[in-house]
Amino acid sequence: MQIKHAYTVVTSPGRNFVTLKIVTDEGVYGIGDATLNGRELAVNAYLEEHVIPCLIGRDPRNIEDIWQYLYRGAYWRRGPVTMTAIAAVDMALWDIKGKLAGMPVHQLLGGRSRDGVMVYGHANGRDHGEAIEAVGRYIEMGYKAIRVQSGVPGLDKAYGVGKGDLYYEPADKGLPDEEVWDTPLYLRHTPELFRKVRDAYGYDHHLLHDGHHRMTPIEAARLGRDLEPFRLFWLEDATPAENQEAFRLIRSHTTTPLAVGEIFSSLWDCKDLIQNQLIDYIRATIVHAGGITHLRRIADFAALHQVRTGCHGATDLSPVSMAAAVNFGLWVPNFGIQEYMRHTEATDEVFPHNYRFVNGFMEMDEVPGLGVDLDETKAARYPYQRAYLPVARLRDGTVWNW
Ligand code: CS2
Ligand code: MG
């Protein structure tokens, strides 16, 4: 069996997605998500110019050999563009292998460790009142875990406050939007938000919060300690994690569980965090951390250190990634939680899939491969438009972490 041809499809049903399709000489095909928010065409070019020519003629069943070839053979290793491109190839090859075997990918990995994958939703609002009302709506929808984000009095914008209720998309067409950030204001108001949520709904639901890289380590330590009475499931991206050691300071001050890693692209980005138990959940994803083949290694390493998975699952990860993530989440023994930001109806039509939300969990049937497809006719209706994530500045104009 050989890879006969491969190509990418760029489509934008509300936001940009890049999908790789690999077709074998026996007509079986697989798809992989190659979306990197704000840098979509960089990955597309990497695939078209540097990866796809090397795939033609290879045996698609040799997933590991192709992974090693694309990782070691590139010379220039790691990084979000490279590892997202490798991830797309890897997802597509696992999809093909499942179809050939007549089994879903979670069966190929080792079968089901659970019947459903617990997911968390995203309650948010421009102020505490709106955010608290949104939490109530997510409880009514059956979510067992809910991320809570709200505006900060005195700031025009804050991370995680969507334009509508269900669909959160931070990227905007045109050049990057610039937003002012003020951490002291945020630190003053956030504990109050969670006190109000707990007062309103009690402690029967997991609450999560995303600091989105904006605090210094000592500021993150302060927030972690202030949130302790509200028993969060996790505080995410408390501080930028290029310096993995920074989490040692946060860890020494608070028992609030810590999650990090949605922007990591390999095990090397999180090895110290995990082996020193500086975090509780690793957020690396199949689409940005080299695919199922590499995320499995990260998860196994994390399991040795009692760290659980908490994979990223925002709207800028396509339904192809979500289908792969549900397969992975059904299997992985040290599962923690899976993020689930609902896609738009248009996106779901472009990417028909088998996973479904059932009372706080994601479930899927025993369908061969990943359990997702790409409708290329519908995809062609939505042309690409360059879009950027925002840029943050502090009040004095200093560029900050968005
Ligand atoms: C966020 C994301 O879902 C999350 O935890 O950090 O919304 C993130 O801002 C986007 O994926 C960036 O593209
Ligand atoms: Mg996040």
**Tens place of pLDDT per residue across the chain (402 aa):** 999 999 999 999 999 999 999 999 999 999 999 999 999 999 999 999 999 999 999 999 999 999 999 999 999 999 999 999 999 999 999 999 999 999 999 999 999 999 999 999 999 999 999 999 999 999 999 999 999 999 999 999 999 998 765 677 889 998 999 999 999 999 999 999 999 999 999 999 999 999 999 999 999 999 999 999 999 999 999 999 999 999 999 999 999 999 999 999 999 999 999 999 999 999 999 999 999 999 999 999 999 999 999 999 999 999 999 999 999 999 999 999 999 999 999 999 999 999 999 999 999 999 999 999 999 999 999 999 999 999 999 999 999 999
In a domain, 231, yes or no: yes
**How many other CB atoms are there within 10 angstroms of residue 274's CB atom?**
21
The string of pLDDT tens digits covering residues 318-350 is: 999 999 999 999 999 999 999 999 999 999 999
Query: Per the confidence metrics, is the pTM higher than 0.95?
Result: yes
* Residue owning the nearest CA to atom 4 of ligand 1: 314
Q: Domain residues for 158? A: 109-369
The three-class DSSP label of residue 243 is coil
In a domain, 395, yes or no: no
d(CA 287, CA 83): 8
Q: Which residues contact 106 (CB under 8 A, 6 or more apart)?
A: 112, 326, 327, 328, 330, 331, 364
Specify whether 127 is located in the same domain as 233: yes
In a domain, 188, yes or no: yes
CA distance to 6, 299, 329, 358, 361, per residue, from 333 (Å): 33, 9, 8, 21, 16
Of 104, 119, 139, the last residue of a domain is 104
Q: Within 13 Å and on the Cβ side, how many CA atoms surround 397?
A: 0
CATH of residue 166: 3.20.20.120
* Residue owning the nearest CA to atom 10 of ligand 1: 314
Specify whether 265 is located in the same domain as 330: yes
| Residue 274 parent element (H or E) | helix 271-275
Of 88, 32, 34, 97, nearest to 63 by C-alpha is 97
Supply the pLDDT for residue 165.
59
Q: Which two tokens stand for residue 214?
A: 């904006």
What's the total number of domains in the chain? 2
Specify whether 92 is located in the same domain as 115: no
Active-site residue identified among 106, 212, 312, 353: 212
Specify whether 97 is located in the same domain as 145: no
In a domain, 170, yes or no: yes
CATH of residue 61: 3.30.390.10
355 is catalytic: no
Of 305, 311, 312, 315, nearest to 332 by C-alpha is 311
Name the one residue in this structure whose structure tokens are 């080299």: 290
Average pLDDT score over the chain: 97
- What order of strands is seen across the sheet that includes strand 178-181? 178-181, 391-394, 399-400
d(CA 286, CA 288): 6
Specify whether 30 is located in the same domain as 117: no
In a domain, 393, yes or no: no
Specify whether 198 is located in the same domain as 178: yes
212 is catalytic: yes
Specify whether 172 is located in the same domain as 303: yes
Which alpha helices (H) appear in 102-182, and where do they start and end?
105-109, 128-140
Ligand 1 contacts CB of residue 388 (under 6 A): no
Specify whether 91 is located in the same domain as 170: no
Specify whether 65 is located in the same domain as 155: no
In a domain, 379, yes or no: no
Specify whether 123 is located in the same domain as 24: no
Specify whether 188 is located in the same domain as 318: yes
Which alpha helices (H) appear in 305-341, and where do they start and end?
319-331
